[in-house]
Amino acid sequence: MIVSIDDLRQRARRRLPRTVFDYVEGAADDGFTVDANRRSFDRYLFRARTLVDVSKVDHSTSLLGEKLATPIVLGPTGLAGLLAPRGEELAAKAAASRGAIFTLSTMSIGTIEEVAAVAPAPLWFQLYVWKDRGVTRALVERAKAAGYRALCLTVDVPVMGNREQDRRNGFTLPPRIHFSNVMDVLRHLGWVLRMSSSPRATFGNFVDHPSLTRTDAVGIARFTNSQFDASVTWEDVEWLRSIWSGPLVLKGITCAEDARKAVSLGVEALVVSNHGGRQLDFLPGAIDVLPEVVDAVDGRAEVVLDGGIRRGSDVVKAIAMGARACMVGRPFLYGLAANGQAGVELALDILCAEMDRTLALLGRPRLAELDRTALRVDAPASLEPTRSSARRETSTVTLRVGGTLDT
């Protein structure tokens, strides 16, 4: 019986070959940041109010002027189509059915146009600034023509992070069967049969690009790898601002200095994110830097939290600390691997039910009523080895309403 996101994770683990599941779980270096994203939520405890009418609970919100039934954005995840045939399309339709936003990754298997054709929900398109700015401009123009509402620029990948498990597994695109993984693949013939109906197993947005010298999956992968640009600066943000007329979102902001710079350039929303722990290791948990960014923008841009969300109560904590919404990646991927579109819908239903229950028990029946007075702060997360650790001593840290975290 599936009643939690972790249950979906276990189902996904059983249904996917280890190489593919490890790609989803992938962490940079020692995995400190991945763990910190989860551990950090343990610091923030609720201050519950009682004798409040909670007969009607409302977790609806708005983001960049768009009314949403839930404060959840499905984040950009490369190669979601490896988990289920036409995975990006299924996830986008699931988001539409639940009043959430779906963000298509540049590195998706489904194309910009294919996803837009099936998803009536608000769509965002995630972008990298490539070495060939003509490639970047073409992607922006395609997203604009297809009706994507916002452009989400990922800014924390000047170079690729070191994901050692993918290297040990020999992860490639398309996935290859070799001596070290043949038995694992044979144990997952259901996945093999499902994926045999997939139209492609490569980066779909580049299939017809004129610069390709090889149009097979290996050639496309080599082309995209060659396009990552370590020289991208704030000038490129200004350039994107000049060619994209819709809302611009920067994903990968983790400090006040960058937040203030972004809003000075007219960026409408910031995603506080450490890339799910897949890039630089030994960053703090995303929730721990959220107040710094919220205070830095001071209402001049909307803030979204990305990193470590596994419970609806995590979403409530982030909203109380000033986030407008939360972006999730692995939770919806678990659902997609577990049961396609229905699995993604179930993941969203689980998070929303947990949000409603938390709001009711907290005595704050509407998201709009949340602020930092709804939280206490416990001991520093970095001192705790695991989320399931034993009872901890409480420090004298307090949470100042409308300000930063003070000791």
- Under a CB-based contact definition with an 8 Å cutoff, are residues 313 and 358 in contact? yes
Residues with active-site annotation: 275
CA 25 to CA 72: how far, in whole Å? 20
- Under a CB-based contact definition with an 8 Å cutoff, are residues 282 and 303 in contact? no
* DSSP reduced 3-state for 248: strand
CA 273 to CA 263: how far, in whole Å? 17
Question: Is the bond leading into 174 cis (omega within 30 degrees of zero)?
Answer: yes
Q: Around 342, how many Cα atoms within 13 Å sit in the side-chain half-sphere?
A: 3
- Under a CB-based contact definition with an 8 Å cutoff, are residues 151 and 143 in contact? yes
- Under a CB-based contact definition with an 8 Å cutoff, are residues 334 and 2 in contact? no
CA 189 to CA 170: how far, in whole Å? 19
User: Which one-letter amino acid corresponds to residue 122?
Assistant: P
Q: Is 315 exposed, middle or buried (0-12, 13-18, 19+ CB in 10 A)?
A: buried
Residue 6: left if φ>0, alpha if ψ -120 to 50, beta else—which one?
A: alpha
> Would you state the structure tokens that stand for residue 265, as one six-digit string?
């350039």
Residue 307: left if φ>0, alpha if ψ -120 to 50, beta else—which one?
A: left
